[in-house]
Amino acid sequence: GAVVSQHPSWVICKSGTSVKIECRSLDFQATTMFWYRQFPKQSLMLMATSNEGSKATYEQGVEKDKFLINHASLTLSTLTVTSAHPEDSSFYICSARGGPGSYEQYFGPGTRLTVT
Amino acid sequence: SQQGEEDPQALSIQEGENATMNCSYKTSINNLQWYRQNSGRGLVHLILIRSNEREKHSGRLRVTLDTSKKSSSLLITASRAADTASYFCATAPQGGSEKLVFGKGTKLTVNP
């Protein structure tokens, strides 16, 4: 149980275009999902916390107009990188809490974004 | 902000040996968790230890927590080549925050 998927696993896009990344909880309902960014050989940096049916809470320094997050259902959250630039190239990982009162997070396999 | 600091940053051992990784943090916590990440993949939850616990075991894993020193250690016994991965500690701050704050990680290489 507690499987989280991400799609796509990798994507290459041109500068100025937008890219949508999906995060799904496959066998449980996730009221809260998290989006992280990870640069090579570095740790995870939390970008935002996504709660089903409400606006995402962004971490300091993360542009909410650039990284649009939608959590329209209990099993799906999406991250859209708008007007992507090469500096947005990174590994994006989502996670979902295991349920009310659960502190464990279950991670998706990540999406490698390359902006050319 | 990154709270946890793991050491060493990199560790290379032979198969069969034990591997010990340490994590230090700065603020009061509700719990501390260890995760594993294979190269280019997502993270896998290994073990959670609550602030009122001092030691926890899961298979070949042993985690200790010293809240007075704000530190934790992860011991992997009888390591295998398949244990090669990066290991991260993550803290859940006290106060009910849902967020986890990740450390910088230890890159473990187990040589066959």
Give B8-22 pLDDT, tens digit per residue: 899 999 999 999 999
Task: Report A:75-94 residues touching B (Cβ under 8 A).
Answer: 91, 93
Q: How confident is the model at residue A37 (pLDDT cuts 50, 70, 90)?
A: very high
Q: Which of B16, B10, B4, B29 is nearest to B88 (CA)?
A: B4
Cβ–Cβ below 8 Å for A43 and B2: yes
Neighbours of A20 (CB within 10 A): 14
Q: What would the mean pLDDT of A60-66 be, rounded to a whole number?
A: 94
Measured between beta carbons, the chain B residues lying within 8 angstroms of A104 are 33, 45, 48
What is the model's pLDDT at position B2?
Answer: 41
> Which residues are bridge partners to A38 per DSSP?
A44, A91
Q: Please say if the pLDDT value at position A57 is more than 60.
A: yes
List pLDDT tens digits, range A80-115.
999 999 999 999 999 998 766 777 889 999 999 999
Which of A6, A43, A46 is the closest to B104 by Cβ? A43
**Shortest Cα distance from A40 to chain B (angstroms)?**
9
Query: Tokens at residue B83, please?
Result: 């244990």
B1 has pLDDT over 70:
no
**Which two three-digit tokens encode residue A83?**
């007007």
Q: How confident is the model at residue B5 (pLDDT cuts 50, 70, 90)?
A: confident
Q: What is the mean pLDDT of chain A?
A: 92
B98: distance to nearest CA of chain A, Å?
Answer: 7
Decide if A95 touches B, using CB distance below 8 A. yes
Residue B96 confidence (pLDDT) above 80:
no
Nearest to A107 by CA among A41, A55, A65, A46: A46
Question: Of A2 and B87, which is predicted with more confidence?
Answer: B87
- CB distance from B94 to chain A under 8 Å? no
Peptide bond preceding B8 in cis form (omega within 30 of 0): yes
Per residue in B42-86, pLDDT (tens digit) is: 899 999 999 999 999 999 999 999 999 999 999 999 999 999 999
Percent of the residues in chain A that have a pLDDT greater than 90, as a whole number: 72
Q: Given CB atoms, is A49 within the 8 Å cutoff of chain B? A: yes
pLDDT bracket for residue A1 (50, 70, 90) = low
Strand ranges in chain B using DSSP code E only, listed in sequence order: 5-7, 10-14, 19-24, 29-37, 43-50, 55-58, 61-66, 71-76, 85-93, 101-102, 106-111
- Verify cis geometry, omega within 30 degrees of 0, for the bond prior to A8: yes
Cβ contact (<8 Å) for B35 and A34?
Answer: no
Q: Give per-residue pLDDT as tens, B23-38.
A: 999 989 999 999 999 9
Q: What pLDDT is attached to residue B109?
A: 97
**Of the candidates A87, A94, A89, which has an alpha carbon nearest to the alpha carbon of residue A70?**
A94
pLDDT band (50, 70, 90) for residue A53: confident
Which residue among A42, A49, A108 sits closest to B42, beta carbon to beta carbon?
A108
- Nearest C-alpha of chain B: how many angstroms from A21? 15
Beta-bridge partners for A5: A24
Query: For residue B60, with 0-12 CB atoms within 10 Å meaning exposed, 13-18 middle and 19 or more buried, which class applies?
Result: middle
